[in-house]
A and B are shown apart, each in its own frame.
Chain A
Amino acid sequence: MQVLQRALQAVFNVLEGWLDRPFGPDWNPLYHLGALGFFYFWVVAVSGIYIYIFFDTGISEAYDSVEYMTHDQWYLAGVMRSLHRYASDGMVAMMMLHMVREFSLDRHRGSRWFTWFTGVPILWLVVICGITGYWLVWDTLAQYIAIATTEWLDWLPIFGESVARNFLAADLLDDRFFSLMVFLHIAVPLILLLVLWIHLQRVTKPEVFPARGLALGSFAMLLGLSLFWPALSQGPADLSQVPAVVGLDWFYLIAYPVVEIWGAGPAWALTFGGSLLIAMLPWLPPLRRRSVAQVDLANCNGCTRCQEDCPFAAITMTPRSDGRPFEREAVVDPELCTGCGICAGACPTSTPFRRASALVPGIDLADRPLKDLRQQIQEATAGLTGDRKVLVLGCEHGIGTGQMAIDGVAQVPLPCIGALPPSFIDYVLSRDLADGVFLAGCKGGECYSRFGLRWTAQRLAGERDPHLRARVPRERIGQLEPGARSKAKMTAAVSAFQAGLPQRSGEIEHPRIRQEETV
């Protein structure tokens, strides 16, 4: 499984690198696949509502009404029809890419299983939406889909009568069948919306709308495509003729040739088996449980910063249980916690400067506590020599901090860059442990734990608690460029940062704090 993930990761790495150049990380479509999927869904919904106004349910009326939209009112209803078609296809493309990319980045296991698992019914529902939609047009493609689908369904022992018999001849087909299809084509997307909502229940602040520039670009693309290459019907359905050659929508209908070639039974086995396999991927193999966050009530004042910053809705605030004079306390749900440590980075008590008490913040990772991080920093920087000593603090899901053979550079890994309390940067620089601190988050500007990069940038800019103190010289803090995605680039970036560090001549340029031994 890891081999497959690495191979896919390598492919995405290249594609992301290409798209980073024109789009940048904020607009790179590959970093916003889920949000783009939602965006296409809304385009489909709005265009669908419009074309429904003109759609007639009936054996001949259905085709005629779609033709009216396509040709007589091409400038609006026709464009809407094309937007409906292409946005639906775009949604499938985004959905599949989103799924494969999350798998490649191993973001589907452990506590994240729920989001992955609830994505599987979304695949089914989207495909059902597409099939029922194509059916409604009642052209030769719809005829093929109707017959092929019902023949496929008839293989399952769930229908008392053969459904395919409804399409044996024109006089056997009833207008009510189209009413059923319209009902399905409206009901299934509503169910899809509900499942999408469930899909996002274990992520906080889900990105359901892409950045404005990306949304505008995507919509302009759809509109241009609709005008330049309008969606057309494939001739009226005629049950006395076999639609031998059809123009398939391969985004939705790729299963049909499989049914024809393999037969209905094996095709069902592949469909159900494939869905089951995808659904089970989080446990193939299961993720070795990472350390989860723990609350230390003696140090928690219920400030809610950890809850606000947690990307996975693992922290809730409940009424105080220990009698201390605070309203609330943080409670971690270990089932939802991914052990990213972002909560520890958000806790205002996570300061390495403590001298009167041990470094025990209000919330911390059980087996990777911040006191160990401080220890690691002290040990890593102890052997540094030269006048441009650099400490690299890097996310272990990123390019990796290990084995950068640069003189005067020490490296310490973090579970996430967001797990670093800003006071640790202050600590390193004010204690002369290093002359510069270089932060290396996930490659490509997209955080494995969703918010680590964003929260860190905001904390350093003083826009989010806990702030990096104003006294910390910003020129001594380096950060990995979002576009960097190889160890060579990271090495070059760290070397350049080191070379550009201003020399400390005698007195350091910021107020020193007392150098008491930390506990």
Chain B
Amino acid sequence: MIRVFRYTGQALVYVLFAAFLGYFSSAPSYTHFPPDQALIKLSLAHGAKREGGCRRFTQAELQKMAPNMRRPMDCPRQRLPVVVELIIDGETRYSASVPPTGLSGDGRSRIYQRFSVRPGKHAIVARLRDSDRSEGFDYEKTAEIELTARQSLAIDFRQEMGGFLFRW
């Protein structure tokens, strides 16, 4: 009889532990984004132009260099910051001057931003400046996009593909 009680007790413990494992392996559910909103992601990795133009080394400068290090042109590594703006329905939701990455500032500028918006039609303008011009932008894309709840719009930038890409 004692053995029966022992095994019953063990079974009870196992059932409780199984319930614990089974439940917490997928519940309670977690809401990490409002289900009644849509998402716009602005993400790009783009290298702006170099800060200055190349110049030819003078003869005196070349003489100072080790023979194996001599090269005709001096091209600065440092890139300009990338200036990006995102305007949604006339409201500027993002505007930043993003410095280049890398210890020498010669890497690509990186942006990864998320914006939640209400579902419906949105007028979206994305602009980017990667040159030394003081005003205006080098790239701009405007679109009117209808988003449903939980839909995700990705705004990417690919210079080789002509600039901004809207993916949804």
Contact = CB atoms under 8 A, between A and B. Distances in A.
A241 B152 contact: yes
B14 interface: yes
Interface string A152-195: 00100000111011001101100000000000000000000000
Contact of A221 (B9, B17, B35): B17
B109 to A, nearest CB: 11
Interface string B138-160: 00000000000011101010000
A129 to B, nearest CB: 15
Contact of B156 (A169, A221, A224, A246): A169
B43 A239 contact: no
Interface secondary structure of B, over-half rule: mixed
A165 B167 contact: no
- Interface of A, helix, strand, loop or mixed by DSSP: helix
A22 B21 contact: no
21 contacts: A24-B6, A86-B21, A90-B21, A151-B112, A162-B45, A164-B43, A165-B43, A168-B41, A169-B156, A218-B14, A221-B18, A228-B22, A231-B25, A240-B168, A244-B34, A245-B29, A246-B29, A247-B26, A250-B24, A256-B30, A260-B32
Interface residues of A, number: 53
Interface size class of B (residues with CB under 8 A): 35 or more
Contacts of B15: 221
Interface of A: 19, 21-24, 27, 29, 85-86, 89-90, 93, 144, 148, 151, 154, 160-162, 164-165, 168-169, 171-172, 217-218, 220-222, 224-225, 228-229, 231-232, 234, 239-251, 256-257, 260
A102 B112 CA distance: 43
Given A22-B6, A217-B10, A225-B18, A240 B32 contact: no
B75 interface: no
Given A217-B14, A242-B150, A251-B21, 9 more contacts: A21-B6, A151-B112, A162-B112, A165-B45, A171-B167, A221-B15, A225-B21, A229-B22, A247-B27
A-B pairs, 9 with minimum CB distance: A22-B9, A247-B26, A169-B167, A221-B14, A244-B35, A244-B33, A225-B18, A168-B154, A229-B22
Interface of B: 5-10, 12-15, 17-18, 20-22, 24-27, 29-35, 38-39, 41, 43, 45, 101, 107-108, 110, 112, 150-152, 154, 156, 167-168
Contacts of A225: 18, 21-22
B19 to A, nearest CB: 8
Contacts of B13: 19, 22-23, 29
A510 B137 CA distance: 105
A161 B8 CA distance: 57
A244 B32 contact: yes
A242 B29 contact: no
B32 A86 contact: no
Contacts of A251: 21, 24-25
A161 B30 contact: no
Contacts of A168: 41, 43, 154, 156, 167
A243 B112 CA distance: 18
A80 to B, nearest CB: 16
A89 B25 contact: yes
B156 A242 contact: no
Contacts of B150: 241-242, 244
Given A23-B13, A242-B152, A89 B27 contact: no
Nearest to B153: A240
A251 B108 CA distance: 38
A162 B35 CA distance: 26
B33 to A, nearest CB: 4
Contacts of A220: 14
A241 B151 contact: yes
B21 A23 contact: no
Nearest to A171: B167
Contacts of B27: 247
A154 B107 CA distance: 15
A394 to B, nearest CB: 28
